Amino acid sequence: MFTFFKKRRRARLRATPTPDGWQRTIERNVPIVRRLPLADRQELFGHVQVFLAEKHFEGCGGLELTDEIRVTIAAQACLLLLHRDTDYYPRLTSILVYPSTYVVPGEHALGGGVWEEGDEPLLGHTQSNLSALVLAWDSALGGARAIDDGENVVFHEFAHQLDFESGDTDGTPPLESNARYASWARVLGSEFDALRRASETGSPTVLDDYGAENPAEFFAVATEAFFERPAELRAKHAALYDELRAFYRQDPAAWPGTSPA
């Protein structure tokens, strides 16, 4: 689609009033949205309209799709897009939703460079060479409703999509300038090394130690903590918090109702 028409169509979609039912669903199922400044909430609702118009949802494993499912997932995905000139996850076409944990056959990582053959139960995944993102609905909903535990599979998988936009799966989404790339590499590189060390010694940290797997997982896990444990992240990993705040152009630690560090 030509950019001019795409932009015009998206602007029209964003200006369309959000159905009351959607707003109620978002406020009930994605309570982190209630912490957003009013203008951000309006921006989010506009993004949700575009997202739902452009992405194809598919129910898998017998799941019957409802507006509740689509809107709950879209609102979380779109929270990562606020305040940026976004192309709405351009590499992503379809969101496949299973009712619950689903099983993927084949090789999977156990961590520490060890791989195992066999079935792996998953809550969600996406890959740069697929135009799809897969989610387990119970985890997508549970993660949305528990807003202070640092775990959110939808934020996690969509952070991977942002990472893919730069062309590589390396934990670096597209940034504004060379200076920003340099400070991102410096800060996230040293934080990643620190998480690897903490993970080896079993020391607890704000970041889930799954992030020690590789830089791409680190960015996805850091995104979950940024939105769901922001005050702790800011207190204990200030430089990382600042990089994420600059990228997401949001300051969740300052939102009313955010749990203190």
Q: Where do contacts with Zn ion occur on this chain (CB under 5 A)?
A: 217, 220
In the DSSP assignment, the letter for residue 35 is G
Burial 113-138 (b: 16+ CB within 10 A, else e): eeeeeeebebbbbbeeeeeebbbbbe
Q: Which of residues 134 and 233 has its CB atom nearest to Zn ion in the complex?
A: 134
- Minimum distance between the CB of residue 8 and Zn ion, rounded to whole angstroms? 35
The residue among 251, 224, 228, 226 whose CA lies nearest residue 237 is 226
Question: What are the CA-CA distances from residue 160 to residues 47, 54, 112, 218 (Å)?
Answer: 19, 19, 21, 10
Neighbours of 247 (CB within 10 A): 21
Q: Which of residues 52 and 154 has its CB atom nearest to Zn ion in the complex?
A: 154
Closest residue to bound Zn ion by CB: 220
Q: For the chain, what is the largest distance between any 2 Cα atoms, rounded to a whole number of angstroms?
A: 54
Residue type, 25: T
- Minimum distance between the CB of residue 220 and Zn ion, rounded to whole angstroms? 4
Give dist(CA 100, CA 55) in Å, integer. 21
- Minimum distance between the CB of residue 212 and Zn ion, rounded to whole angstroms? 12
- Minimum distance between the CB of residue 74 and Zn ion, rounded to whole angstroms? 20
Q: Which of residues 46 and 124 has its CB atom nearest to Zn ion in the complex?
A: 124
- Minimum distance between the CB of residue 20 and Zn ion, rounded to whole angstroms? 35
Is-contact 78 100, C-beta < 8 A?
Answer: no
Q: Which of residues 109 and 254 has its CB atom nearest to Zn ion in the complex?
A: 109
Q: Which of residues 45 and 219 has its CB atom nearest to Zn ion in the complex?
A: 219
Q: Which of residues 34 and 108 has its CB atom nearest to Zn ion in the complex?
A: 108
Is-contact 50 88, C-beta < 8 A?
Answer: yes
- Minimum distance between the CB of residue 6 and Zn ion, rounded to whole angstroms? 29
Characterize the bridge pairing of strands 124-126 and 132-136.
antiparallel
- Minimum distance between the CB of residue 16 and Zn ion, rounded to whole angstroms? 33
The residue among 208, 214, 206, 156 whose CA lies nearest residue 188 is 214
Residue type, 103: V
Is-contact 95 55, C-beta < 8 A?
Answer: yes
